[in-house]
Amino acid sequence: MKTTIAIIQMDIAFGNPEENRKTAEKKIKKAAADGSTVIVLPELWTTGYDLSRFEQIAETLDGPTHDMLRALASDHHVTIIGSIAEREGNQFYNTMVVYDPSGERVSEYRKAHLFRLMNEEKYLQSGNTKGNFPIGEVPAAGVICYDIRFPEWLRTHMLDGSQALFVVAEWPKPRVDHWRALLISRAIENQCFVIACNRVGKDPDNTFGGHSIIIDPWGTVVAEAGGGEETLQADVDFSEVEAIRKQIPIFQDRRPGLYE
């Protein structure tokens, strides 16, 4: 059974959640109208990396972004994935949220690896739990940007049979070749679909690379965006994962006792 996925590769208005919610709402509605049932937004799509102002612009997980995504997921019967600036008390997190077609939030993953080149460790707390969640009957997992440089972390997400890895990012343009190479490697070594959404545009310190991408379990690129705003749409058949894992049974042939 095929699933139609839309990746919303958008520019982000720096530090302006209200404007970004309006933009995302229009794009989500359009993707749903075009037949997508899973819709992916970038990392920190509500705020961008305006980290020094998170005191003013971050929100709780029951804030206005929650209200919007819950309603959109339910009204259009879609799964929505993306990360936002989360406030919990006096602490802040870069948190991926996932809403299922009933409007229920089924995952809250706080970014585990903070990226020093963009000063995350100065403003954010790191998460300590995995990002697994279901898409209907399909087990999946989600991580955020810099996490993809840690293959041992991603492997822990795959050991429960997850068939898809969703990645949301604000990956800078100078290292976009790393982005592609790492994502293809993660698909091959985990024999899973990789669905990765990057932003485009600029903030005061960075230019972002786009090239959102969908990769199959062989490492073949199914669809890839360019460097500008667009919604990338493609069909994926998650049943391919099981067939490939039977053909080359890497999960059965692992020797974890040697790796510790």
Per-residue confidence of the chain (260 residues) as pLDDT tens digits?
699 999 999 999 999 999 999 999 999 999 999 999 999 999 999 999 999 999 999 999 999 999 999 999 999 999 999 999 999 999 999 999 999 999 999 999 999 999 999 999 999 999 999 999 999 999 999 999 999 999 999 999 999 999 999 999 999 999 999 999 999 999 999 999 999 999 999 999 999 999 999 999 999 999 999 999 999 999 999 999 999 999 999 999 999 999 88
Q: How many domains is the chain partitioned into structurally?
A: 1
Q: Measured between alpha carbons, how far is residue 171 from residues 115, 201, 227, 257 in Å? A: 11, 11, 12, 35
Residues classed as catalytic: 43, 111, 145
CATH label of the domain that carries residue 143 = 3.60.110.10
DSSP class of residue 172 equals B
Structural domain that includes position 178: 2-251
Q: Is residue 114 part of a domain?
A: yes
Task: Evaluate whether residue 259 is within a structural domain.
Answer: no
Is residue 202 packed enough to be buried (19+ CB in 10 Å), middle (13-18) or exposed (0-12)? middle
Instruction: Give φ, ψ of 153 to 5 degrees.
Output: -70, -45
- Residue-level pLDDT at 260: 82
- H-run or E-run covering 55: helix 54-57
Burial 127-166, CB ≥16 within 10 A → b, else e = beebbbbebeebbbbbbbbbbbeeeeebbebbeeebbbbb
> Is 257 domain-assigned?
no
Q: Which residues contact 213 (CB under 8 A, 6 or more apart)?
A: 180, 183, 194, 196, 221, 223, 224, 225, 232
From the list 250, 204, 200, 253, the residue with the least C-alpha distance to 23 is 200
In a domain, 256, yes or no: no
In a domain, 57, yes or no: yes
Spatial separation of the C-alpha atoms in residues 39 and 6, rounded to whole Å: 5
Q: Is residue 260 part of a domain?
A: no
d(CA 164, CA 158): 9
Strand order in the sheet with 138-144: 132-135, 138-144, 164-169, 193-198, 213-215, 221-224
> Taking the CB of residue 74, how many other CB atoms lie within 10 A of it?
15
Which residues in 49-153 belong to E strands, given as ranges? 79-88, 91-99, 105-110, 132-135, 138-144
Q: Is the Cα dihedral 6, 11, 17, 23 positive or negative? A: negative
